[in-house]
Structure 1
Amino acid sequence: MAVPFLSSSLQLTPTSPILFTKLTPPIIHNQRPTTCTVPTKPRLRLLRRSAVAGTAVADQIEGGGEVLLNLEEEKRVEVADYDWTEEWYPLYLTKNIPDDAPLGLTVYDRQIVLYKDGEGTLRCYEDRCPHRLAKLSEGQLIDGRLECLYHGWQFEGEGKCVKIPQLPASAKIPKAACVKTYEVKDSQGVVWVWMSTKTPPNPEKLPWFENFARPGFFDISTTHELPYDHSILLENLMDPAHVPISHDRTDFTAKREDAQPLVFEVTERSNRGFAGTWGREKDGGKGSNLLRFDAPCVLQNNREFEGKDGVKNYFSGLFLCRPTGQGKSMLIVRFGVTKRSPLVSVLPQWFWHQNACKVFEQDMGFLSSQNEVLMKEKVPTKDLYLNLKSSDTWVAEYRKWMDKVGHGMPYHFGHRTISLPKVPPVVEHAPAGLIAALSASYPAKGGIGTMHAPNLANRYFRHIIHCRSCSNVIKSFELWKNILSATAVALTTLAILVVSRQWKAVLLGSAALCSAAAYACLRAINLNTNNFIRTHRRL
């Protein structure tokens, strides 16, 4: 998914390359290397299909055509010093953190619990009770303390255990009865966590977004849990070329006929990421959109424009990604502007949230399958992707950045290097079996219906449970639907009992209006909780 900015993609001709195979093996990081050496200019075998005869024609070439990226190989892969734990990761929107319950979250495969204590201070612990390893996120808050629901052990402050109900009155609480803590910061409406317990937090690495600090800057923020790896998610977000095709007519800017070549210019590269401009080729290659990627997983797409009054306005599409395990990720999306459209004021916030859900659902099928192929093939992306200069520049830059720092991550798939996870995803996600894993990952806190089924493909679990405003809207629609349905039944009953034709007409008319209003509430609930399915995929 990407925001429908000005975007387009390149139409391939019938004689464009459709397949290539490379004869060099991938570089696999098993430990922290300094450099990796590979042969230069590997030979590629491109297969072209004849538009007339429909036959495959093989050409032996070196390098490749000008439309393709990354055919010129470097002798050495640059490797930077990097440790994934020494970074700030976005956890949650501050406004959505519950006041009366702990919140279980993950960063890669590390499980943590976030909660507000009695003074409203955010606390973050390892999500594991030192007693018998029960999840603290399944617990409850008692007088501002986090209580494990297994045996009632209570923790507060810097992870200190302050109560063990089963301990004799004369005994002291063991010093080892404490939990590991993580530093958290609330910055510009987002809670961030520093994942290292050995290195002190680095405040200079905490992201700060200039546009979101401007006076009058208005944003719409949503949170989404997604069933594919964070690197696949970031690739998708930094790919403007797919928007006209994948999100055709989803809003007022994405149109299939606008797919076209794009022009990219990389203006900055560092061990912390990259930045550049992009625009449409038909506009003369002027990059009106500014893209910036910063480690570990922050992506911005900014734009400046002048209004009719000559005042400069600012727009930001901000994507804060968090890896939540193999094949899973969580995303905080923030669209902000200094001059908002009248539609934003007219339409309710839940409408924009459900539209964002729809956009992710449009991409979900092929992004999940892309994730599956990467895990099965176990080779770098240069052996799988056919990147185009006119659409895939940012994707190539991102995977090359992972070549530099991937050795410092739990696993990675770079442009020329890979490091595989230490354990298979089925073991990471389901150490005690599939049913146990589902119970542990998605505990049933009320409701076992279809809408509440624990499934990342379900919009309710991907967004609604993480959004306080949408959750309240669903509850309100449910309440009004029940009230209006009951009123319609009561009015119909009265219409049957009364003798006067005039009153019968009034009562039946009122019952019809209540039924229509109840149906509208039902449709609103479905709009917010049901997944989008493309017409040609419906059975």
Structure 2
Amino acid sequence: MKRTGSRLVAQMGFPPTAPRLENSKKTVSDGVEDVDKEVLVPAEAEAEEAAEEYDWREEWYPLYLTAQVPDDAPLGLTVFDKQIVLYRDGAGVLRCYEDRCPHRLAKLSEGQLVEGRLECLYHGWQFEGEGKCVKIPQLQEGGKIPRAACVRTYEVRNSQGVVWVWMSEKNPPNDEKLPWFEHYAKPGFQDTSTIHELPYDHSILLENLMDPAHVPISHDRTDWTAKREDAQPLVFTLTERSSRGFAGHWGRSKNPALMNFLRFQAPCVLSNDLEFVDKAGVKQYFSALFLCRPTGQGKSMLIVRFGASSRSPVFNLVPEWYFHQNACKVFEQDMGFLSSQNEVLVKERLPTKELYLNLRSSDTWVAEYRKWMDKVGHGMPYYFGHSSLSPPKQPAVVEQAPVGFVAGISASFPAKGGVGTQHAPNPANRYYRHVVHCKGCRSVVKTFQAWKETLVLLSLAAVASAILASAQQWKVVLLASAALFLAGSSVCSYVVSLITTNFIRTHRRL
């Protein structure tokens, strides 16, 4: 019997069976085998499908939320381990280049924008348009810029508020592959979007997002809907399956009338839609959209969009930064689980059918996703499939982040979005994972920090004035004012902490 069966037997309270020797008979009862077949997703595919031709470069990848792209600085990004740089030129047009200067390979994303041109800060070479070099300060007078002094370009599209990049270096963009989301194009459809960097592989991220069974447990009372007591068997119905992904319906066994429709669209788009008729007889739509970009070994970037055809008036009273910090909290609740899962997959180097114990009533989409990887994973830099795998052939590239005083200076520039050494690049730090990518949250942090400092100064001034005041009533008024100023300063500190501080489960030992 397979190892998964032994684990289930142990969990059911039966004594574990001895390991099966080669050519020996099974040592477990047929009854337990029947339980396995009834409860677990089959370890083997019902009909093994041959691997299909696939090239990860011949795809569109979500780069960034259009509204969050800086106007005054280049933005360094990656797709798998391919480093690219995104910026807006003088006309506001989005440009995307390979992130290295042809001169001496310095990162262009560490450069600056000069009159709409991208300048490498190492020697001052400047580039524009289709990657053409237009200025070399060290070039002798009358000398011509070498033809090879250009950078490789990538096609980008701004579609429905998201910047997408076409990674192929040999074929023109295939616009038929560019994702389009029907609900988000409907008049009056409203959404809230956030962006997050996460310290684990994009395949593990996608697994997590297509796993509704974990929500009531891991996110109990986090988003006003998840409740631990609602954990229950789920119902899954697969309706589509191809090399471009899969789709199907799922819902709670206790409420089968309310079914969600989930679609995974290659290579890294996941949507979950819910349609229902409200009390007034009007059809309403809710959509959760997850755009996952692989950013290297053990790293990913996620764009999250939650949209609905109508919202409660109360929703509009809550500041947007509050929803952003709540989204950060959700990902932090799962971060420890997913990071350790990533570590085990890389260390064990086994396909997931040898490691996972997938239940039919909770893990159907997870198993389906890993089986999809079996078909196309050979066309990726690395992958972990259900029955096959191709681990990374080279160790992950670890970039050394600045520390101490240098980090404080480098993180203070608008392009980096930081405000001090505590926000030096760190994939486990909420500020680095979200706030540096969100203009709104950065603005809120800076505003509340400014108010905090102002209120502290006003409090000190009020106390000093109270000491100097001769009239008793003025002393009381000034001291009361100082107390109010301090209270306001504390509120500002709390808001900044709420936006920038990681969630830690209270039951954990520190």
> C-alpha displacement at 1:46, in angstroms?
5.3
C-alpha offsets along residues 234-258 of structure 1, whole Å, 9 cap, x if unaligned?
0000000000000001121111111
> C-alpha displacement at 1:316, in angstroms?
0.4
What corresponds to 1:49 in structure 2? 10
Q: What one-letter code is carried by the residue in structure 2 that aligns with 1:330?
A: M
What corresponds to 1:500 in structure 2? 471
Distance in 2 of aligned mates of 1:496 and 1:436: 46
Q: What one-letter code is carried by the residue in structure 1 that aligns with 2:143?
A: A
What corresponds to 1:91 in structure 2? 63
For residues 7-406 of structure 1, the aligned pairs below 5 Å read 20-21=2-3, 45=6, 48-49=9-10, 55-57=15-17, 59-60=27-28, 64-74=36-46, 76-283=48-255, 285-286=256-257, 288-406=259-377
Q: What one-letter code is carried by the residue in structure 1 that aligns with 2:223?
A: D
> C-alpha displacement at 1:170, in angstroms?
1.1
Residue 507 (structure 2) pairs with residue 536 (structure 1): yes
What corresponds to 1:451 in structure 2? 422
What corresponds to 1:41 in structure 2? none
What corresponds to 2:24 in structure 1? none
> C-alpha displacement at 1:308, in angstroms?
2.2
Distance in 2 of aligned mates of 1:445 and 1:184: 28
C-alpha offsets along residues 479-529 of structure 1, whole Å, 9 cap, x if unaligned?
100111100100110001000001111111111111100110000000000
TM-score normalised by L of structure 1: 0.88
Label 1:72 to 1:378 Cα distance change in 2 as closer, same or farther (>3 A): closer
> C-alpha displacement at 1:306, in angstroms?
1.6
Label 1:364 to 1:219 Cα distance change in 2 as closer, same or farther (>3 A): same
Distance in 1 of aligned mates of 2:95 and 2:156: 7
> C-alpha displacement at 1:288, in angstroms?
1.3
Label 1:288 to 1:150 Cα distance change in 2 as closer, same or farther (>3 A): same
Q: Gapped runs of 5+ residues in structure 1?
A: 1-18, 23-43
Label 1:277 to 1:80 Cα distance change in 2 as closer, same or farther (>3 A): same
TM-score normalised by L of structure 2: 0.93
Q: What one-letter code is carried by the residue in structure 2 that aligns with 1:494?
A: S
> C-alpha displacement at 1:57, in angstroms?
4.7
What corresponds to 2:415 in structure 1? none
Distance in 1 of aligned mates of 2:345 and 2:107: 32
Distance in 1 of aligned mates of 2:333 and 2:203: 18
> C-alpha displacement at 1:49, in angstroms?
3.0
The question of whether the paired residues in 1 share the 8 Å contact of 2:407 and 2:424 is answered with no
Label 1:490 to 1:369 Cα distance change in 2 as closer, same or farther (>3 A): same
The question of whether the paired residues in 1 share the 8 Å contact of 2:408 and 2:424 is answered with no
Label 1:193 to 1:104 Cα distance change in 2 as closer, same or farther (>3 A): same
**Which secondary structure does the structure 2 equivalent of 1:315 belong to?**
strand
CA RMSD of aligned residues (A): 2.3
> C-alpha displacement at 1:477, in angstroms?
0.3
Label 1:442 to 1:293 Cα distance change in 2 as closer, same or farther (>3 A): farther
What corresponds to 1:14 in structure 2? none
Q: What one-letter code is carried by the residue in structure 2 that aligns with 1:521?
A: C
Q: Gapped runs of 5+ residues in structure 2?
A: 19-26, 413-417
What corresponds to 1:5 in structure 2? none
The question of whether the paired residues in 2 share the 8 Å contact of 1:429 and 1:437 is answered with no
The question of whether the paired residues in 1 share the 8 Å contact of 2:264 and 2:271 is answered with yes
C-alpha offsets along residues 431-475 of structure 1, whole Å, 9 cap, x if unaligned?
xxx568999999933268453132110000000000000000000
The question of whether the paired residues in 2 share the 8 Å contact of 1:115 and 1:122 is answered with yes
Equivalent pairs, count: 493
Distance in 2 of aligned mates of 1:21 and 1:56: 10
C-alpha offsets along residues 418-437 of structure 1, whole Å, 9 cap, x if unaligned?
01212012xx235xxx5689
Distance in 2 of aligned mates of 1:506 and 1:20: 77
The question of whether the paired residues in 1 share the 8 Å contact of 2:448 and 2:496 is answered with yes
The question of whether the paired residues in 2 share the 8 Å contact of 1:106 and 1:324 is answered with yes
Distance in 2 of aligned mates of 1:527 and 1:275: 37
Distance in 2 of aligned mates of 1:89 and 1:255: 34
Label 1:287 to 1:504 Cα distance change in 2 as closer, same or farther (>3 A): closer
Q: Which has the higher contact order (CA 8 A, sep 6+)?
A: 1
Range 189-198 or range 440-449, more displaced: 440-449
**Which secondary structure does the structure 2 equivalent of 1:532 belong to?**
coil
Distance in 2 of aligned mates of 1:149 and 1:442: 19
What corresponds to 1:7 in structure 2? none
Distance in 2 of aligned mates of 1:233 and 1:438: 32
Label 1:237 to 1:438 Cα distance change in 2 as closer, same or farther (>3 A): farther
What corresponds to 1:26 in structure 2? none
Label 1:502 to 1:435 Cα distance change in 2 as closer, same or farther (>3 A): closer
**Which secondary structure does the structure 2 equivalent of 1:231 belong to?**
helix
Label 1:448 to 1:341 Cα distance change in 2 as closer, same or farther (>3 A): closer
> C-alpha displacement at 1:209, in angstroms?
0.3
> C-alpha displacement at 1:81, in angstroms?
1.4
